[in-house]
Every structure is written in C-alpha cells, then in structure tokens.
Chains A and B, each alone.
Chain A
Amino acid sequence: MRSKSIALPTLSALALVTALTVPTVSSAEEGASVIEEGKSIAFNRKKGNCLACHAIEGGTLPGNIGPPLVNMKERFPSKKKLKEQIWDATRTNPYTIMPPFGKHEILEPDELDKVVEFIYSL
C-alpha cells in the first residue's frame, strides 16, 4: 500500500501519507485492543478458560496440565498453525485433553480469532 503511494505526485502523496497515518495509528490501537479482548476471552472461565490447563503471563492460579504458553512465535510458524491447534487440538494429538474450541463451537469464530491474536502475542 505505502510503496505505491511513493509513485504519486508530492502534494497528493503528503495528503495520502497523512490519510494513511491516521488509520495506521488507530489500527495499532485496534490491534492492541483485539489482543486485550482475546486475553479476556482466554481468561474467562465460561469462554476459553485456558488457565485451567496453561500458565499464561498475567493469569493467576494456572493449572499445569498443558505447557506454559510462551514464545508462541517460535513454537508456531504462522497464526494459521496456531489457530489450527486451538480450533481442534485432536488433529495433532488424537488423545489430547485440550478441548476443540472451534470445532465444538466453545468459542465463536470471532472470539477464537481474538484468542489467536492474544496467544500469538505471548
């Protein structure tokens, strides 16, 4: 997007940059708030309740059935892969205790996406 604007005449380019800057700031905020929303869904006992099994930064009294959720970007090459794990963990491990949050509609699709954003930020 931005690299295209460089080819434009200077004046309109400036106008465009300002135009672009505004949404960039708000989308960063949006990103942060999506992560925050994801966090509260993940921590909510009636929703993700991920703390039942995983230690997660910022969460209290975690269980220790699953591994602590840290360095997620190193563990998962893409958000897509991470989403697959949360959607239906039995696909990688048929015996897993981890509930299939997407497949069994424990979380709504948009809630699951927000949880992915949060977990990927860890």
Chain B
Amino acid sequence: MKAKNALLILFLVLPLGTAFAADVSPEEELVKFQSYFKEKFPEIPFQDFANGVYAVDPASREQWEALEEFPPYEIDIEEGKRLFETPFKNGKTYADCFENGGIGIAQNYPYFDAKRNEVVTLPLAINRCREENGEPPLKYKKGKLAKILAYMVYTSRGNTIDVKIPNEKALEAWKKGRQFYFSRRGQLNLACAHCHLENAGRRIRADILSPALGHPTHFPVYRSKWGELGTLHRRFAGCNKQVRAKPFKAQSEEYRNLEYFLTYMSNGLQINGPGVRK
C-alpha cells in the first residue's frame, strides 16, 4: 500500500516540479508505469489491458463480448478497405504512401519524424498522403478517415506496439505529452492521471474508469454513445470537455504529443482495434 502511494506520488509530483522533470527517462518510466498497473491488477494478464474497462470489470465484459461477435464496426472496416483501395485522381493509392503498402503497420504509429521534428500519427499520415496526391484532407474525428483508419488498424491486429524515441527532440515531445497527462485542467481541475492512473478500476458515478495502460490499442472505436466510429483524439477532446476544459483540435501538436506519450507507455501490448465501447 505504502509503496503504491510512493509510486503514485512520484508520478504525480515529478511533472509539476520542473527540476525533476528534466531527468525523466522514458525507459524507466515505462517500467514504473506498467508495473504500477500490474501490481494494481495482479489478476489481469498483461495483454488483456488492451481491452480497457472490460479487463477490469467482469460484469460488463460479457455484454461486450457478445457485441464483439457481431461488431458494429464491421461495415466500417469494409467501407474503409474500399476507400483505401480506391485510386486518387492521379491514379495512385494510399498504399503508395506507406511502408508495406499500408498493411499491418499501425503498431509503428505515432512515430517521431526527425526531418520535420514532430510526431506523426496515422491519421495525420493518411491526410498527408492525400494532400501529396492532390486530394483535400479529411476530417479527423469521424467519417471517412476513421473508416480508413479502422481498416488499416484491423490489418495490424495482433502486432505489438513498438513506439520509439529516436532523439532529443523526440524526447522533448514525449515529455510534453507526459506533462499534459499529469497536468490539472479545466474548471474541475483534473488531470488524465487522476482518473486513468490513480483511480483506474474505481467507479465515477456508474462508470468504471479504465486503466491508461492499453488506451491506444483499439482506436478508432465504435461507441454506442456516438452511434458511429470515432478517433482517439475525439476521445481526448471528450475527456477534456468532461472536466470543463477547452479541448484542443484533433491532430493539434498537444494531442499528438499526448498520443506519443500514451502509446509509448503501452509498448508491448498488441493492436486490437477497431474496438467497441459504450
């Protein structure tokens, strides 16, 4: 109990004290972060963290497993495949923009682009591919882009997340994401870490809070609340609004750094998207 509190305080204090934040090493943080959850939920097999709240809440798991038998995102994957394979006006396709023709690569995103000095997420890469081929960009939170993403992620199922931090600039981006995760925000004054780290597994009113570990494995997600697919950044914005903070734009630098941090912390888990949530 005491050790856990000490660990938590380490997590929560460090980003606030800039003197320490400079010394944070991602490798050590990754071990601390993942062991925190392994100790908190000793009965959960590591790979099961990819299942979010359903890993920690056996009561709702059955319903969810039933849903997954005829998943509501199935037609989105098909539509995504069709969109993915439809040539641009210049005759090229998405496959021309990506390694391995875009198949089975989601586990390598987001990555740090050393030339541009920025985090590149898969949705951003999809739109850049369009623009390079003279096509207008798609909206980032839902719709066609989410469907293309669903297909690309689907072809990556079972592949292990392997996000790298190649240089100092990348480390800076990761630290910014980390800072975001632990910063209080909005009128309600809450950090992501308050809900998804410290209180994972507890109930906030009737909702059980999912652990931060595993958050990026299964996006885009079909949410019954949305009645459609949505991207990870749509969810970030939702959680920001929940605490009455002004959300950032999807694919803003803030959210890309946040995704970089969060996905790095889930290294070792397998991609299992698209997912379905309530």
Picked from A62, A65, A99, the residue with its CB within 8 Å of the CB of B188 is A99
B116 within 8 Å of A by Cβ? no
Instruction: Judge whether A61 and B206 touch: CB under 8 Å.
Output: yes
Which residues of chain A have C-beta atoms less than 8 A from B199's C-beta? 65, 97
How close is B181's CB to chain A, nearest CB, in angstroms?
A: 15
Instruction: Judge whether A97 and B198 touch: CB under 8 Å.
Output: yes
B205 within 8 Å of A by Cβ? yes
How close is B196's CB to chain A, nearest CB, in angstroms?
A: 11
How close is B189's CB to chain A, nearest CB, in angstroms?
A: 5
A27 within 8 Å of B by Cβ? no
Cα–Cα distance between A100 and B202 once the two chains are bound (Å): 21
Which residues of chain A have C-beta atoms less than 8 A from B44's C-beta? none
Instruction: Judge whether A99 and B189 touch: CB under 8 Å.
Output: yes
How close is B62's CB to chain A, nearest CB, in angstroms?
A: 20
How close is A67's CB to chain B, nearest CB, in angstroms?
A: 12
Instruction: Judge whether B9 and A100 touch: CB under 8 Å.
Output: no
- Complex: chain A residue closest to B194, CB-CB: A97
B3 within 8 Å of A by Cβ? no
Instruction: Judge whether A106 and B188 touch: CB under 8 Å.
Output: yes
Within residues 1 to 39 of chain B, which ones have a CB less than 8 A from any CB in chain A?
Answer: 8-9, 12-13
Instruction: Judge whether A53 and B189 touch: CB under 8 Å.
Output: no
A-B contact pairs, 16 of them (CB 8 A): A49-B205, A61-B206, A62-B203, A62-B205, A63-B204, A63-B205, A63-B206, A63-B207, A64-B203, A65-B199, A65-B203, A95-B13, A97-B194, A99-B187, A99-B190, A104-B189
List the interface of chain A (C-beta within 8 A of B).
49, 51-53, 61-65, 90, 95, 97, 99-100, 104-106
